[in-house]
Amino acid sequence: MNKQVFDLQGFQEYLFNEFLFFGALNTVGLTVAALIGGLVLGTLLAMMRMSPIRPLSWLAQFYIWLFRGTPLLVQLLIIFTAVPLVIDVRLSVLETALLGLILNEAAYLAEIIRSGILAVPKGQTNAGKALGLTPSQVMRYIVMPQAARIIIPPLGNSVNGLLKTTSITSVISMEELLRRTQILIQEKFLVLELFAVAALYYLILTTLWDLVQRRIEARFGKAYSDVQLAESY
């Protein structure tokens, strides 16, 4: 007698499971928090990286090299196990997951932000200085609005990747989507079916973000086109 490979009824039963649904919400929450923290730290690192002060630039380069060159999984495990030994503070699973994701994501976002800023023509900065603007005003009102158009597409791709990368936090028992899927598998023994449900959830989340990203890119692209049209007259 052939053994049933895929239990369709089991798949359908857990497709709208509340336990997995809230796991998906935890995944979204981790993604948003890591993105915000990563943008703040990444912007700081990008500024340090471009700083004429050599020690600051070298420190930022070292940070980016370290966190881009080592796996997030290793970073999470080091934070989870080493931090309590070094500073005698026991981080919760959530705190460890957020800290690891933010530190890792910041290294990648720093390079995206830096490349966007460097892509803005020098003439724009010089024009701002000629108008008597301070360096911070030049960055805020002239450079960053133009850099944003360049930064947004790779930033959107980073968010897409971050949604899936949060699954790595399951190794420290963070109850996001994958971890909750594993818990159900241990109880129900529906391995293929529950992993298929999890994959579908991830696919829905990344598809929804793709739609949002397209709207954002279209909005910024239109704004930039309007500026170019106004300058041409």
Q: Could you report the per-residue pLDDT of 25-70, keeping only the tens digit for each? A: 999 999 999 999 999 999 999 999 999 999 999 999 999 999 999 9
29 located within any domain: yes
Neighbours of 101 (CB within 10 A): 26
Is residue 105 within 8 Å of residue 181, measured between CB atoms?
A: no
How much of the chain is helix, strand and coil, in % rounded to 5? 85, 0, 15
148 located within any domain: yes
Residue 220 confidence (pLDDT):
76
What's the structural domain count of the chain? 1
Residue 2 confidence (pLDDT):
52
138 located within any domain: yes
Range of the domain at 108: 8-232
CATH number for position 29 = 1.10.3720.10
Q: pTM for the full model? A: 0.87
Residue 138: name the closest of 163, 157, 117, 111 by CA: 117
Range of weakest confidence among 22-36, 83-97, 120-134, 162-176: 120-134
131 located within any domain: yes
pLDDT digits over 161-190, tens only?
A: 999 999 999 999 999 999 999 999 999 888
Residue 24: name the closest of 176, 169, 167 by CA: 176
Residue 227 confidence (pLDDT):
46
The per-type count for the chain, helices as H runs and strands as E runs, is 10, 0
51 located within any domain: yes
1 located within any domain: no
Residue 232 confidence (pLDDT):
46
- Determine the angle formed by the axes of helices 144-165 and 93-118, rounding to 10 degrees: 150
The band of 84, judged by pLDDT with boundaries at 50, 70 and 90, is: confident
3 located within any domain: no
Residue 222 confidence (pLDDT):
62
39 located within any domain: yes
